[in-house]
Structure 1
Amino acid sequence: MSATATDAGAAGTGVRPAWVSDERLAEWCTWVARDPAGTATSTAVAPYDGLVTATVPASTAEDVATAIAGARRAQRSWARLPWGTKAAIVLRFHDLLVQRQDEAIDLVQWEMGKARFSAWQEILQVATIARHYARHGRHYLADNKVRGAIPGLTKVREVRVPKGVIGMISPWNYPLYLAVGDVLPALLAGNGVVSKADSQTPLTLLWARALMAEAGLPRELWQVVVGPGSVVGDALIGPVDASAEGVDHICFTGSTATGRGVGRRAGERLIAASLELGGKNPLLVLPDADVEKAAAGCVAAAFANTGQMCIHVERVIVHTDVYDAFRDALVAATAALRVGQSFDYSVDVGSLASPAQLETVRSHVETAVAAGAQVLIGGRHRPDLGPLVYEPTVLEGVTEEMPVCAEETFGPVLSLYRAVTEADALAKANAGRYGLSASIWSRDTAAAERLATSVRAGSVNVNDGAAAAAGSIEAPMGGMGDSGLGRRHGAEGIRKYTEQQTIATQRLMPLGPPPWMPVERFVGIGNAQMRLLRSLRMR
C-alpha cells in the first residue's frame, strides 16, 4: 500500500477548505430549526486533524415540535402544486449540485474523512436520484383503476396521497447521499420533511438545504434539526400520548441496535418506519470465477469509503479450488491501494470518521489475532498518515468466536473463509441475522443468478461487489432480517411516503337489494352470479 500524507495546505484552521468562510458557516447555521433565544450548541471534529470543524446551534425537543408544525403548514400548500412545479425545483437543485459539487465534496471530506472519489460518488447518487424521481415519480404515484364490486355499476380508483410530514434520521457515513437522497422523493410525493442532521456531519446537510432554497424550495417545507438522538430523535418521532406533535413516517438509516428502538417507538405511535440497518455482507467466489476480477471487485466493495458503508463486503467465502489463487490476487490488489488523506484524487482509501470507529476496527483485528487469526496484509493504525487512518486489512483463519466473524466492523477489514462445496458457501453466506447485500463471482452468470435467489440479502450482485445494485436507482434497495425494513430507490422509494386511498363511486343503484325485491330473491341472484363467475374463471 502506498501512502499519502495529510493535505494541510488549505487555508483556514487545520484542513478547513479555504472557501469555507466564517460568513458561509454562519449562513448555513441559520437553517437549523432553533429558538433564536436558544444557547445550546453542537460541535464535531475533523477526522483529518482532530480540530473542531464548526460550532452549530443545537435544537431542543420544543424546537423539533415547532419545526414539525412549520413543515406541516407548508406541506398543505405544497401538496396542491402541480407535479411539474415540484419537479422543476428538484431539477434545479440537481443542476446546482452538479455545478458546485466541489464544495459538497470538500465538506464531506472535511467532516467525514473519506477519499475524494468516494465523496464524488455521493454527488453521482444524489444527482441520479433527483433526475429519476423528477422524471418518473409521477408514474409511480399515478392513479390506478381497479374493478369494482359490480362491474359497470361500481367505479373504483386507487390513489396516493402524501403522508404529511416525514422524519429523516441519517448517518454520518454518507452525509449527502443518505441525508438528501431520501428527502427528494418525499418532497416530490407532496410531503414536508424534518431532517435530523448527524452530529458528526451537519454542515454537509445544511449546505444542501441552502442549495435547495436557492432552487426554489419554500423555507418551512424542509426543516433541519441538530442535536443528540436521545433529545432530537425521540422528539422527531413524537410521544405516544400525543402531548406533542410527531411526524407521520420515520425514515432511519443507522445501526441495528438504534433501529430497533426507532421501530419500537414508531410502532407505539402507529406510524410507518423504513429502516436501513447494519450488514455483515458476504462475497462468494465460486470455483469457475475469474479470480483476478473477483479480487479487484472485492477490494472495491470492501475498502471504498474506508469500509464505512452498510453494503460493503466484510466476509469473503472462497471455494477451496481457487482459494489460494484468489487470496494471492486479493493481497496484491490490496497492496496497490493508496492510503492517506488528501483533498484531491491521489488517495483510494481515506480516514476513518471518528476515534470510536478506529477503536472498533483496532479491537476486532487485535482480538482476532490474539485468538489465532493471521493478518495477510494491513492490520495497523497509521497515525503517521493521519490521526484516524487504518490500513486496509485482510484476515485469514477467523473463527466463529471472534467478534470480527459476526459483528459488523464498519471499517477496512476483510475476513477470508474456505468453502468446500457450493452448498457450504451458501450456508456460510446466510449465517447470522443480517441480510443486506451480497456478491457472487462466477463465469456462469445464469447459474450465479439462480444461486442468488437462495442468498438471504436484499440485494445480490453478480460479478460486482456492491455498486451495481446500489447504483440501479430504479431497483429497490434494502435489507432482510436484522438489516432492516422497507426499501429506498425504485417505486417503493417514493410510494412509501404516501398513503393508499380507495375512491369508490357507485352508479345507478346502491349495493344490496332494491326496495321492491325480496331479500331472498336478491340472495338467490347473488349465488347464481358467484357460480357463473367461477365457471367463467372470473373474480
Structure 2
Amino acid sequence: MSPHTIAALVGARRRDALVAQLSYTSSDTATVIAPFTGQPLHELPLSSIRDVQDAAASARHAQQAWKTAGFAHRRRVLLRAHDLLLERREELLDLLQTESGKTRGQAFEEIFQAASVTRYYALSAQRVLATRRRRAGIPLLMTTRVSYSPKQLIGVITPWNYPIALGTMDIVPALAAGSAVIQKIDNQGALSMLATREAYLDAGVPAEVWPIVAGPGNKVGNAVVDSCDYVCFTGSTPTGTRVGERAAGRLIGASLELGGKNPLIVLGDADPDTAAADAIYACFSSMGQLCVSIERIYVHTSIADAFTREFVKRVESLTQTAALDNTGDVGSLTSAAQLERVQGHVTDAVTKGATVLAGGTTRPDIGPYFFAPTVLTNVTEDMQCYANETFGPVVAIATVASDTEAIARANDTEFGLNASIFSGSVAHARRLADRLDAGSVNINEGYRGSFSSVDAPMGGMKHSGLGRRNGPEGILRFAQSRTVSQSNGILQLPRTGAEFAAMAGLMVTLLSVLKVMRRR
C-alpha cells in the first residue's frame, strides 16, 4: 500500500480533527508510522507533566457532576455510545488497521469487545454497586449495610496493540461507576483511541471527564500514576512492576495486565486436524502481538505427527497482506522494534539448534515490518524464545507423553495469564484446567472464549499481573466500600465490667446457636 493510499484513507483533515481532542499538549510532537508502509502517518502532539496535572485537576472537578447525574443517566449515555461504535465501525476498522497493521477481521474483534463491555457495564453498574445488607455481628440487635462510592479519578495507561479493546475494558467500568478517567494513550494507537473517545463524547460523556494525554511513559505515564486514585496498566511485566511500585508508594490500588508465555495443550483424545485449524488463530491473531496469544504448544505423542503436519500445512497457506478488507488472514508487525525482537528470537533459536517448520523469514515483498508466521521445534532452555515472551508470530511445538507432563510443562513459567486445552472430551479438559496456573483457561479455543466473556474476571497469576478487569470485579476496583452499622435499640450492649459479666454467657450461647443453625 502506498503512502498516498494511507493519506487518502485517513485524510489530513480527519487526522487533525482527532488530534485536536488532545487539549493538554506541549510544543513537542512524535512521528507516528504506518506499519503497512513504514512511512509517516501523522505528527502527534505530546503532553508535559504540567499538562497531566492540569488535565487531572479539570477531570476531578468535572467528576462531581458526572457522579451526581446518576446511574440512569450514565446508562443512557453508554448505551448510546454502544450504538455509535457500531455505526462508526468502518472508520474505526480503517484506523486500527492503519495504526496496528492487523487484519480487518482481527481489528473487528476490538470493536466487538468495546461494544460488549460498554453494554455490559451500562446495564450492570447499578446492580453491582447497589447498597446491600450484610450479616451484622449480633443479629437482631444490629443492622449492617455496605454502600459504594466511586473513586474520583482513575488513571488508565493503554498499549498500542489493542488500543480500543483494552482501553474500553478499563475506561467504561470507571465511567459507569461515576469516576472520571485520565488516559495516557500509546502514540501508535492514538487515532484509534481518539476516534473511539469521540463516539462516547458524542453520546454524552463530558470531555472533561475523560481527558487524554500522550507522551513517554517515564514522564507522562509517571505523572498519570501520581495524579490518580487508582491506576490501570496494560503492558510488559518490567514496566508494570514499576507502575505497581509507584502506585503502592502513594497507597493507591492498581490493576496490571502484564506479559505471558501462554501454553496450549493438545490432548491425545483431540482430533488433530480440527485442533490444528483452531490453534493457528490462537497463535497468529494480530501477528501474535496479543497478551493472551499462544506461544507454546504441547501435543500428546500419539497425535503429534498428524497435528504438526496439519498445523504446518495450514500455516503455510495463510494469506498475509496489507489489504484493508477481509482477504487477509494475517497482517504486519506494528513497528521496526517488533520486527527486530521477533527476528532476534528466531535467529537465536535457529543458531542454537531449533528447527524451522514454517516461516522464519521477513516478507519485505509485502511491507517493511512483515514477518512470516513461524513454527519451531526442538526449542531448548538456552534459547531466548523458550521462556521469554516473543510477542510475535512465533510458536514452538513440543511433544508430551502424558497429561501430567503437559500440565507440568505448561506451568513451568514465571507467567500465568492465559492457557488453552484442546480435547475431544470437555469433561477431561475441565479437570485439567483446574490444574493450570493461569488466570484464564480456554477449552477448544485459544483465547476468545475468556477474552469475550465480559461478565467474567480477566487477569493474570504470577508475573502476569495483578487484579482483574471485566465482570463485577472490573467495576468494584473503581469503588470504595463503606460499611454502616446501627443499633436497633432492642438490647443495650455491655459497657461496664459488671454488664459484661452478666451478658457474656448469653453471648456465648448466641455464638453456639448460630453455629448449629449454620448461620454465618
Q: Output the TM-score relative to the length of structure 1.
A: 0.93
Cα shift at 1:391: 0.3
Report what 1:111 is aligned to: 99
In the alignment, structure 1 residue 229 sits paired with structure 2 residue 210? no
Report what 2:186 is aligned to: 198
C-alpha distance in 1, partners of 2:452/2:515? 46
* 3-state SS, counterpart of residue 111 of structure 1: helix
C-alpha distance in 1, partners of 2:179/2:347? 48
* 3-state SS, counterpart of residue 471 of structure 2: coil
Cα shift at 1:491: 1.1
In the alignment, structure 1 residue 354 sits paired with structure 2 residue 335? yes
Letter in 1 for 2:13: E
C-alpha distance in 1, partners of 2:348/2:375? 14
In the alignment, structure 1 residue 87 sits paired with structure 2 residue 68? no
In structure 2, relative to structure 1, the CA distance for the partners of 1:19 and 1:369 (3 Å cut) is closer
1:459 to 430, 440, 446: 440
C-alpha distance in 1, partners of 2:12/2:212? 20
C-alpha distance in 2, partners of 1:216/1:384? 46
Q: Per-residue displacement from partner, 1:2-45 (whole Å, max 9, x unpaired)?
A: xxxxx33xxxx44425253333222222221425xx31122211
Letter in 1 for 2:366: L
Cα shift at 1:181: 2.5
* 3-state SS, counterpart of residue 207 of structure 2: coil
Contact 2:345 2:385 in 1 (8 A): yes
1:32 to 22, 29, 34: 22
Contact 2:458 2:469 in 1 (8 A): yes
Q: 5 Å matches for 1:44-123?
A: 44-123=32-111
In the alignment, structure 1 residue 386 sits paired with structure 2 residue 374? no
1:143 to 107, 131, 138: 131
* 3-state SS, counterpart of residue 368 of structure 2: coil
C-alpha distance in 1, partners of 2:309/2:20? 53
1:274 to 255, 266, 277: 255
Report what 1:185 is aligned to: 173
Q: Per-residue displacement from partner, 1:419-469 (whole Å, max 9, x unpaired)?
A: 111111111111111111111111111011001100111111111111111
C-alpha distance in 2, partners of 1:125/1:15? 28
Report what 1:243 is aligned to: none
Unaligned runs of 5+ residues in structure 1 are 1-6, 239-245
Report what 1:422 is aligned to: 403
* 3-state SS, counterpart of residue 217 of structure 1: coil
In the alignment, structure 1 residue 42 sits paired with structure 2 residue 23? no
Contact 2:71 2:125 in 1 (8 A): no
Letter in 2 for 1:306: M
Cα shift at 1:351: 0.5
Contact 1:180 1:205 in 2 (8 A): no
Letter in 2 for 1:286: L
* 3-state SS, counterpart of residue 428 of structure 1: helix
C-alpha distance in 1, partners of 2:40/2:463? 35
Cα shift at 1:121: 1.0
In the alignment, structure 1 residue 175 sits paired with structure 2 residue 178? no
* 3-state SS, counterpart of residue 491 of structure 1: helix
Unaligned runs of 5+ residues in structure 2 are none
Report what 2:429 is aligned to: 448
In the alignment, structure 1 residue 298 sits paired with structure 2 residue 279? yes
Letter in 2 for 1:102: E
RMSD: 1.7
In the alignment, structure 1 residue 409 sits paired with structure 2 residue 397? no
Contact 2:117 2:168 in 1 (8 A): no
In structure 2, relative to structure 1, the CA distance for the partners of 1:109 and 1:537 (3 Å cut) is closer
Report what 1:487 is aligned to: 468
Report what 1:335 is aligned to: 316
Contact 1:458 1:479 in 2 (8 A): yes
C-alpha distance in 1, partners of 2:448/2:107? 14
C-alpha distance in 2, partners of 1:29/1:354? 21
2:153 to 165, 170, 183: 165
Cα shift at 1:146: 0.9
Cα shift at 1:264: 0.5
Report what 2:300 is aligned to: 319
In structure 2, relative to structure 1, the CA distance for the partners of 1:536 and 1:100 (3 Å cut) is closer
Cα shift at 1:517: 6.7
In the alignment, structure 1 residue 126 sits paired with structure 2 residue 114? yes
Letter in 2 for 1:412: P
In structure 2, relative to structure 1, the CA distance for the partners of 1:516 and 1:444 (3 Å cut) is closer
Contact 2:159 2:234 in 1 (8 A): yes
Q: Output the TM-score relative to the length of structure 2.
A: 0.97
Q: Per-residue displacement from partner, 1:27-85 (whole Å, max 9, x unpaired)?
A: 222221425xx311222111111121111211111111111111111111111112111
Cα shift at 1:346: 1.1
C-alpha distance in 2, partners of 1:129/1:424? 37
C-alpha distance in 2, partners of 1:210/1:538? 51
C-alpha distance in 2, partners of 1:334/1:408? 20
Contact 2:70 2:178 in 1 (8 A): no
* 3-state SS, counterpart of residue 339 of structure 1: coil
Contact 1:513 1:522 in 2 (8 A): yes
Contact 1:15 1:110 in 2 (8 A): no
Write 1 or 2 for the structure with the bigger share of helix: 2
Report what 2:265 is aligned to: 284
Deviates more, 1:209-218 or 1:269-278: 209-218
In structure 2, relative to structure 1, the CA distance for the partners of 1:422 and 1:516 (3 Å cut) is closer
Letter in 2 for 1:465: G
Cα shift at 1:516: 12
C-alpha distance in 1, partners of 2:69/2:456? 28
In structure 2, relative to structure 1, the CA distance for the partners of 1:511 and 1:116 (3 Å cut) is farther
Letter in 1 for 2:460: G
C-alpha distance in 2, partners of 1:368/1:356? 18
* 3-state SS, counterpart of residue 114 of structure 2: helix
Contact 1:436 1:479 in 2 (8 A): yes
Cα shift at 1:98: 0.5
Report what 1:3 is aligned to: none
* 3-state SS, counterpart of residue 398 of structure 2: strand
Q: Per-residue displacement from partner, 1:71-105 (whole Å, max 9, x unpaired)?
A: 11111111111211101111111111101111111
In structure 2, relative to structure 1, the CA distance for the partners of 1:290 and 1:520 (3 Å cut) is same
* 3-state SS, counterpart of residue 302 of structure 2: coil
C-alpha distance in 2, partners of 1:45/1:20? 13
In structure 2, relative to structure 1, the CA distance for the partners of 1:156 and 1:290 (3 Å cut) is same
Report what 1:16 is aligned to: 6
Cα shift at 1:197: 0.6
C-alpha distance in 2, partners of 1:320/1:522? 70
In structure 2, relative to structure 1, the CA distance for the partners of 1:153 and 1:112 (3 Å cut) is same
Contact 2:104 2:326 in 1 (8 A): yes
Letter in 1 for 2:106: S
